[in-house]
């Protein structure tokens, strides 16, 4: 069972910041994206960006359940394939949301297919020590509402660590990820966004940003927890083929 503080932080990763309807913010300790990621998605409503997602089919994205539960799909816009949160890429509405009954994962069908290249889901998330990259428009400072989020996509290179590094983790459907230098990691607004790894020269999806791996309300004070997308690929295929 997740601790109360972990649940609160998971929800806060997609919460309101001044002038924005759900979370905005970016990765703490990261830097501006070094390339365009065709599969990167910003989920937005009338107040702007609130969560990240990954394009896994031309008309389907995967995100965190806590980002979209109790949300009408038609109220969500997806900006696909841009490093800017408010320009370029392809923008289309959602048409249907499917949430997992237990795991922090959800699927959103797009109203129309997009031309951007989806990301393949890895066959497994990998062992402890596997190098990964985090992507998002989340907060760049660790305390809640400590500053304005970036409009340019951020990235951070990190690695998987043993499940024992994260509190209240379900090792069957979740993965624990290091916070480099003890002060880097996902933050408010990064929820649902991709954790990727390089396989044979291409990016593959292994995780969706979920929550902190400790009880601190400040970001990047310890390892973080990501939904293990490969572990749930059977569920994904059962929903969308």
Domain span at residue 225 reads 25-32+120-233
Residue 110 contacts residue 98 (beta carbons within 8 Å): no
* pLDDT, position 7: 37
Between strands 224-228 and 48-57, the pairing is unpaired
The answer to whether position 163 is within a domain reads yes
* pLDDT, position 23: 34
Domain count, the chain: 1
The answer to whether position 153 is within a domain reads yes
pLDDT digits (tens, 9 = 90+) for 141-165: 767 777 777 889 999 999 999 999 9
Q: Is 161 left (phi over 0), alpha (psi -120 to 50) or beta?
A: beta
- 232 Cβ contact partners less than 8 Å away, ≥ 6 residues apart: 100, 103, 105, 173
The answer to whether position 111 is within a domain reads no
**Domain with 175 in it: what CATH number?**
2.40.10.10
Residue 95 contacts residue 202 (beta carbons within 8 Å): no
Give the span between the Cα atoms of 177 and 222, in whole angstroms: 9
Mean pLDDT for the chain? Answer: 87
* pLDDT, position 139: 81
Average pLDDT for 158-182: 93
Give the span between the Cα atoms of 13 and 81, in whole angstroms: 22
Task: Quote the DSSP letter at residue 102.
Answer: S
CA 168 to chain centre: 19
In the three-class reduction of DSSP (H, G, I as helix; E, B as strand; rest coil), residue 174 is classed as strand
Which segment of 22-26, 56-60, 185-189 scores lowest on mean pLDDT?
A: 22-26
Quick one: pLDDT band at residue 95, thresholds 50, 70, 90? very high
Give the span between the Cα atoms of 139 and 157, in whole angstroms: 16
In this predicted structure, the answer to whether residue 94 has a pLDDT above a threshold of 70 is yes
Give residue for tokens 């929550």.
Answer: 211
Average pLDDT for 9-21: 39
In this predicted structure, the answer to whether residue 166 has a pLDDT above a threshold of 70 is yes
Q: Among the ranges 46-50, 99-103, 182-186, which has the highest mean pLDDT value?
A: 99-103
Q: Residue count of the chain, please give it.
A: 241
Give the span between the Cα atoms of 19 and 71, in whole angstroms: 20
Task: List the structure tokens of 219.
Answer: 């970001």
The answer to whether position 168 is within a domain reads yes
167 or 218, higher pLDDT: 167
Give the span between the Cα atoms of 109 and 206, in whole angstroms: 20
The answer to whether position 155 is within a domain reads yes
CA 186 to chain centre: 9
* pLDDT, position 27: 64
The answer to whether position 199 is within a domain reads yes
**Sign of CA pseudo-dihedral 27, 35, 109, 76:** positive
* pLDDT, position 63: 99
Q: Among the ranges 108-112, 185-189, 210-214, which has the highest mean pLDDT value?
A: 108-112
Task: Quote the DSSP letter at residue 9.
Answer: H
The answer to whether position 99 is within a domain reads no
The answer to whether position 84 is within a domain reads no
In this predicted structure, the answer to whether residue 15 has a pLDDT above a threshold of 70 is no
* pLDDT, position 3: 35
107 or 11, higher pLDDT: 107
pLDDT digits (tens, 9 = 90+) for 199-226: 999 999 999 999 999 988 888 788 999 9
Average pLDDT for 173-187: 87
């Amino acid at each position: 069972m997740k601790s109360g503080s972990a649940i609160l932080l998971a929800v806060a990763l997609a919460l309101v910041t001044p002038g924005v309807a759900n979370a905005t913010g970016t990765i703490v300790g990261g830097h501006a994206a070094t390339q365009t990621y065709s599969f990167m998605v910003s989920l937005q409503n009338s107040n702007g960006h609130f969560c990240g997602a990954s394009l896994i089919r031309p008309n389907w994205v995967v995100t965190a359940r806590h980002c979209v539960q109790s949300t009408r799909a038609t109220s969500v816009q997806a900006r696909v394939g841009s490093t800017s949160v408010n320009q370029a890429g392809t923008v289309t509405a959602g048409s249907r949301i499917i949430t997992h009954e237990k795991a922090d994962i959800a699927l959103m069908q797009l109203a129309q297919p997009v031309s951007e290249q989806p990301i393949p889901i890895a066959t497994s998330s990998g062992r402890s020590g596997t190098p990964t990259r985090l992507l998002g428009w989340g907060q760049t400072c660790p305390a809640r509402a400590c500053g304005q989020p970036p409009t340019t996509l951020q990235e951070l290179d990190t690695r998987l660590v043993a499940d024992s590094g994260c509190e209240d983790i379900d090792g069957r459907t979740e993965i624990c990820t290091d916070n480099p230098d003890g002060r880097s990691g996902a933050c408010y607004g990064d929820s649902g966004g991709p954790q990727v790894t390089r396989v044979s020269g291409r990016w593959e999806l292994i995780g969706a940003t979920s929550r902190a791996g400790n009880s601190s309300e400040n970001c990047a004070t310890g390892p973080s927890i990501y939904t293990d997308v490969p572990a749930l690929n059977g569920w994904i295929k059962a929903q969308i083929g």
